[in-house]
Amino acid sequence: MRHLKAHRKLGRTTEHRMSLLRNLATSLINARQERVVTTLPKAKELRPFIERAITLSCKAQLLEGDDAPLKAVHLRRQAAGFFHAGNRQQAPSTGRRGMPRAPRTAGVAALKRLFDELGERYKDRPGGYTRIIKLGRRDGDNAELAIIELVDNPRERAAVGQVTKGAKSAVSGRRKSARASRSGEAEGGRRGGRKADRTYEKEETTEARGRGEASVAEAKDSDKAGSGGGRSAKTESTANEQDTK
């Protein structure tokens, strides 16, 4: 039976293991791409650890009533246990009273982003805030690597937006081409893939084309007549010369 074996020890003591998970959680939330590359056992241990903190931020977004701010502060203090406490003692960090305060630590920044942004993003999502992607073995120690990332991250939303935009543009292009083909066929134009129908041509254009064809035909007839007359006169003169001889 697996009593008291709910989690991986990761070859560390309890204090070291908790510090490791807090550092990984801080890096995951503060990362620009919202993803961290680590070993597969660490990623599997980090997943339930960070999702509990995200659940607390989601509960804070769904609070209602007059005592909602007090409950939100309580949830924020509970979630602070999943990160390093940060600069609680300002005097030892600065040396003297009145000196500039020390900069905010990464854990404090992660807690702020957790309740300000991630809680609003996942407030309607019933769990499953992270995703693990296996990367294969690492050169050297042959450890199995994996990526753990937050779902619905900006990179993923941008990719979905581009796919949706491309699909909409393709559909609109097909609709435009279909409308153009139908209008071309109705007007007798070349858009429908057929030659223009002369029955839909303007009368002025038809008359102008008729006059042009008539003039061209007359010019051809005159050329033929002129050439024929010259040949006949030449033939008669040749016959007269032969008779004289």
Residues 113 and 48 placed together within one structural domain of the fold? yes
List, in order, residues 6 or more apart from 172 with CB less than 8 Å away: none
| Contact present, 27 and 49 (Cβ < 8 Å) | no
In a domain, 221, yes or no: no
Residues 134 and 185 placed together within one structural domain of the fold? no
Residues 53 and 64 placed together within one structural domain of the fold? yes
For residues 27 and 19, what is the distance between their CA atoms, to the nearest angstrom?
12
In a domain, 208, yes or no: yes
For residues 183 and 179, what is the distance between their CA atoms, to the nearest angstrom?
6
Residues 130 and 200 placed together within one structural domain of the fold? no
Task: Report residue 193: phi and psi, to 5°.
Answer: 90, 10
In a domain, 228, yes or no: no
Helix axes 40-61, 14-30, angle to 10 degrees: 60
* Domain enclosing residue 192, as ranges: 153-213
Q: Outline where DSSP puts E strands in the chain.
A: 35-39, 130-137, 144-150
In a domain, 174, yes or no: yes
pLDDT the model gives residue 84:
86
Residues 166 and 143 placed together within one structural domain of the fold? no
Residues 28 and 146 placed together within one structural domain of the fold? yes
In a domain, 187, yes or no: yes
Alpha-carbon distances, residue 70 vs 60, 74, 114, 191 (angstroms): 10, 6, 18, 69
User: Which of 98, 123, 151 corresponds to the end of one domain?
Assistant: 151
Segment 9-40, tens digit of pLDDT = 999 999 999 999 999 999 999 988 899 999 99
Residues 75 and 191 placed together within one structural domain of the fold? no
Residues 30 and 73 placed together within one structural domain of the fold? yes
Residues 43 and 124 placed together within one structural domain of the fold? yes
Q: Report the domain count for the chain.
A: 2
pLDDT the model gives residue 225:
56
Instruction: Give bridge partners of residue 136 from the DSSP assignment.
Output: 145
Measuring CA to CA, which residue among 53, 42, 52, 54 is closest to residue 7? Answer: 42
Segment 69-86, tens digit of pLDDT = 999 999 999 999 999 876
Residue 46 pLDDT greater than 70, yes or no: yes
Measuring CA to CA, which residue among 114, 103, 49 is closest to residue 77? Answer: 114
pLDDT, greater one: 244 or 39: 39
In a domain, 233, yes or no: no
In a domain, 58, yes or no: yes
Residues 55 and 81 placed together within one structural domain of the fold? yes
For residues 72 and 116, what is the distance between their CA atoms, to the nearest angstrom?
12
| Contact present, 134 and 37 (Cβ < 8 Å) | no
For residues 47 and 131, what is the distance between their CA atoms, to the nearest angstrom?
8
In a domain, 28, yes or no: yes
Q: What is the CATH number of the domain that holds 19?
A: 3.90.1030.10
Model-level pTM? 0.61
For residues 58 and 121, what is the distance between their CA atoms, to the nearest angstrom?
8
For residues 56 and 75, what is the distance between their CA atoms, to the nearest angstrom?
6
| Torsion sign over Cα 120, 122, 125, 127 | negative
Residues 32 and 134 placed together within one structural domain of the fold? yes
DSSP state of 3: T
Segment 140-196, tens digit of pLDDT = 899 999 999 999 888 888 888 878 777 777 777 777 777 777 776 666 554 444 454
Residues 168 and 117 placed together within one structural domain of the fold? no
